[in-house]
Amino acid sequence: MYNQPEEFVEAAAGTEYDPYSYSGYAQQEGDFEMHTGDPRQDLAYERQYEQTVPSYIIPEVIKNFIHFFHKCINEGNLFEVNNLYESSFNKLTERFFKNSPWPEAEHVAPVVDRDPLFVILYKELYYRHIYAKVTGGPTQEQRFESYYNYCNLFNYILNADGPVPLELPNQWLWDIIDEFIYQFQSFSQYRSKLIKKSEDEINVLRQSPKIWNVHSVLNVLHSLVDKSNINQQLEVYASEGDPDSVAGEFGRHPLYKMLGYFSLIGLLRLHSLLGDYYQGIKVLENIELNKKSVYSRVPACQITTYYYVGFAYMMMRRYQDAIRSFANILLYIQRTKQMFQTKSYQYDMIMKMNDQMYTLLTICLTLHPMRIDESVHSQLREKCGDKMLRMQKGDRQVFEDCFSFACPKFISPVAPNYDAPRNNLQKQPFTLQLKVFMEEVNQQIMIPTIRSFLKLYTTMPISKLATFLELNDDDFRNHLLCFKHKMKNLVWTKGTSGLEGEFQSASEVDFYIDQDMIHIADTKVARRYGDFFIRQIHKFEELRHNLKKGTSSS
Amino acid sequence: MAENMRRSVSNLMRGIDRYNPENLGTLERYVELQSKENAYDLEANLAVLKLYQFNPMYFQLNVSAQILLKALTNLPHTDFVLCKCLIDDVHQGEDQIMKVLYLHDLLETCQFRKFWVSVPQSEVLMGIVGFEESIRKYICHVVGITYQHIDKSVLSELLGDASDDEIKMWMNKYGWTPKDGEKIFIANQEENVKPKNITEKIDFESVAGILATSAQ
């Protein structure tokens, strides 16, 4: 039923205007071969087909794996599918396809009775592996093919009259959405790097404006959100009702429900990549960020959510909210780290994000010093203590470096002008965000210095401190006003919308001015022993436990 | 009128339709209306900037500058920064936008006196109704969180050489009271700004686990 090219575009229905539809570009004909309608590509496709067909034989162990994988998916054996997906596939990759692609779908198809759905799922893994591991990365053609494959997958899921009979592990569903956006991001960067491209490649790009078009990507995510009624479900869930009561036929089905939820996180990410932080937080308005929920069981999804939420808050100068987001998730990673270590492909990604978030947290705490969880703080001192000191001293370069390392890979939603002189433009969106960030930093650059002076006194005349800082009274007063203004942030207090909040200041050093006198209030923190002892006792307990296990088994 | 439009515009921005460039005309008219009627709708304005981002050929300098100026009227909120993130570098280099960026920088760094000198009345401000009043509100906000007592002359200067009557108006609005002639009492800041001592608290939960294991 799903290989009929049918439009799933729901939101645009009823209006004649429809520039977003991509289904016309994702036609599928009987036998898994896709024709693009572009003779050049089709030709290239066929050439490649001829080259590889005759000689390739799939190793028996791979054949068995695929056969079994197919069977488990068809039988809906979720437990086994999860195992094959998370473990076996990666082990086989490690053994046979460390830096080379898995067998092409055409060769795999006969093993699974040419089951079209399985072939799509297989291709999803196939291309993802090429993006992640294969030396040289995907070719232009593979980028296109992978796009068509996602179109087919989403058409199958979204165009059905009733929920499709497919269940996949949550982790896989998350990875599908995550990868879909990653490949879009990767393509956006790819098409902006014009210098090393051949004339042919540029011609094909020019003629394919709809491939990985931002509207299509948004459309997929919005359609999944709408189809699953996930927003309505979350609303009911937040008020402690039964989400099923509003889920509808599709939304009750785990496949749709989870894809809907992950699409919201996908939208957060997509909007952030485009520099639209407001919309990023806004799409999550039905998700209770500060509460554990049944939807939050995929760690990679949790971590991604908080990374982008924290980043968006940082850009909105909502430092307290950013700090809370980062500190919460970093604590979570710290506590659950061992769990990921077994899944290497996730581990690398999570550790990278972990480091990025420590860096972002360092930036936020430099601009807005406040107390955070002790164990996160001690990690932070270890990883970024030096950077923090230099930022506190007003070293702009360190701010820039930290931002560059830790920010998302920003993209432009539009194709470059292929007819203009060739240039590499992929950095432009990043440069813009960096510029905005640095303008904020520059506005605040004096504050850490002023703070360090204020810390020394309880009362101080404006004019005297101005002299210390070699400023005239008026300028110094402006700095003081700026200090107060920048330290008063909007802070989330209640409700599900992350955009709401009230103005608060929780800065460690605070002050007020009475006419010409500054009155300073510092925060004194007594040394904490209890936390340290508790952790040591736990460590000791663990050690004792392990020793015991060791002796009893030998 | 702006109120009515707010409702109809919010319908335009549901779901995928917010990326439909055909809505741009309506949204741009709405920006104009906000300027004339002293109304404000950040979300709609961001939608305009996003449509420009997706369709660079439709970009309008005047509308963008207007949106930025409107964002200034909503200080101390960071709307301006959000808008800035959606306007590309080339357009930010345009004279008209640069002027607004400069005003923003002065306001964020509380260089109010310079701001009042720099704000060359009509041309940059594009006839935005209630602009200066909104800025004064923001300045009063900053004064309100900073001062316990302020000299009347200082307040007047911050507000752009406000006359006695104007000062009286702002004092009434925020409940500030005159004191000893030339002083104004703003608020009792001692209540909000006081030294904090944080001592360690250990909750029962974290100790309970230890006690349980050691009791084994």
pLDDT tens digits, B8-50: 888 878 778 889 888 898 899 999 989 888 899 999 999 999 9
Q: Is residue A291 part of a domain?
A: no
Q: Is residue B9 part of a domain?
A: yes
Residues B30 and B98 in one domain: yes
State both tokens at A240: 């402690």
Q: Is residue A392 part of a domain?
A: no
Q: Which residues of B touch A231 (CB under 8 A)?
A: none
State both tokens at B124: 């940059």
Per-residue pLDDT of chain A (554 residues; tens, 9 = 90+): 333 333 433 333 333 333 334 343 333 333 333 444 454 554 454 445 444 444 567 888 888 888 888 888 888 888 888 888 888 888 888 888 888 888 888 888 788 888 888 888 888 988 998 888 888 888 888 898 899 999 989 999 888 888 888 888 988 999 999 999 999 999 988 888 888 888 888 888 888 888 898 999 999 999 999 988 888 888 888 788 887 888 788 888 889 999 999 999 999 999 999 999 999 999 998 887 767 666 667 888 889 999 999 999 999 999 999 999 999 999 988 888 777 666 666 788 888 999 999 999 999 999 998 888 888 998 899 998 899 999 998 899 999 999 999 999 999 998 888 877 777 787 889 999 999 999 999 999 999 989 888 888 888 899 888 988 888 988 999 999 999 999 988 888 777 778 888 888 777 788 888 888 898 888 777 777 777 787 788 788 888 888 887 776 54
Average pLDDT, chain B: 87
User: End of a domain among A137, A156, A178?
Assistant: A137
Into how many domains does chain A fold? 2
In angstroms, the CA B72 to CA B119 distance is 13
Q: Is residue B129 part of a domain?
A: no
Q: Is residue A508 part of a domain?
A: yes
B189 or B123, which is more confident: B189
Which candidate from A215, A436, A482 shows the least CB-CB separation from B110? A482
Residues B4 and B110 in one domain: yes
Residues B111 and B202 in one domain: no
Nearest CA in chain A to B145: A484
Q: Is residue A215 part of a domain?
A: no
Question: What is the least distance, in Å, from the CA of B34 to any CA of chain A?
Answer: 20
Residues B115 and B12 in one domain: yes
Q: Is residue A455 part of a domain?
A: yes
B210 or B99, which is more confident: B99
Q: Which residues of A touch B77 (CB under 8 A)?
A: 490
Nearest CA in chain B to A537: B210
User: Which residue range is the domain that position B209 belongs to?
Assistant: 147-216
User: Which residue range is the domain that position A511 belongs to?
Assistant: 450-554
Residues B117 and B209 in one domain: no
Which candidate from A277, A521, A541 shows the least CB-CB separation from B194? A521
Question: What is the least distance, in Å, from the CA of A373 to any CA of chain B?
Answer: 12
Q: Is residue B107 part of a domain?
A: yes
Nearest CA in chain B to A545: B213
CATH number at residue B216: 1.10.10
State the pLDDT at residue A364: 95
Cβ pairs A/B, distance under 8 A: 167
Alpha helix segments (H runs only) across A415-553: 428-444, 447-454, 462-468, 473-487, 530-553
Contacts of B209 by beta carbon, 8 Å cutoff, 6+ apart: A538
User: Residue A461: which H helix or E strand, with range?
Assistant: strand A459-461
Q: Does the beta-carbon distance from A515 to B56 stay under 8 Å?
A: no
Q: Does residue B164 surpass a pLDDT of 60?
A: yes
> Which of B58, B85, B188 to probe by mutation at the A interface, max A CB count within 10 Å?
B85
User: End of a domain among B105, B122, B139?
Assistant: B122
Q: Does the beta-carbon distance from B108 to A482 stay under 8 Å?
A: yes
Q: Which residues of A touch B76 (CB under 8 A)?
A: 485, 488, 503
Question: Using CB atoms within 10 A of its CB, is residue B185 exposed (0-12), middle (13-18) or buried (19+)?
Answer: middle
Contacts of A13 by beta carbon, 8 Å cutoff, 6+ apart: none
Question: What is the least distance, in Å, from the CA of B198 to any CA of chain A?
Answer: 5
Q: What ipTM was reported for this prediction?
A: 0.89
Q: Does the beta-carbon distance from B81 to A317 stay under 8 Å?
A: yes
Residues B1 and B99 in one domain: yes
Q: Does the beta-carbon distance from B89 to A534 stay under 8 Å?
A: no
Measured in residues, chain A has a length of 554
State the pLDDT at residue A2: 35
User: End of a domain among A116, A137, A158?
Assistant: A137
Q: What is the full DSSP assignment across A190-222? A: HHHB-TT--HHHHHHHHH-TTTT-HHHHHHHHH
Question: What is the least distance, in Å, from the CA of A19 to any CA of chain B?
Answer: 9
Residues B207 and B100 in one domain: no
Q: Is residue A39 part of a domain?
A: yes
Global confidence as pTM: 0.86
Q: Identify the bridge partners of residue A512 per DSSP, sorted by sequence position.
A: A519
Residues B105 and B160 in one domain: no
Asked whether B9 and B30 are in contact (CB, 8 A), the reply is yes
Into how many domains does chain B fold? 2
Q: Is residue A338 part of a domain?
A: no
Question: What is the least distance, in Å, from the CA of A275 to any CA of chain B?
Answer: 6
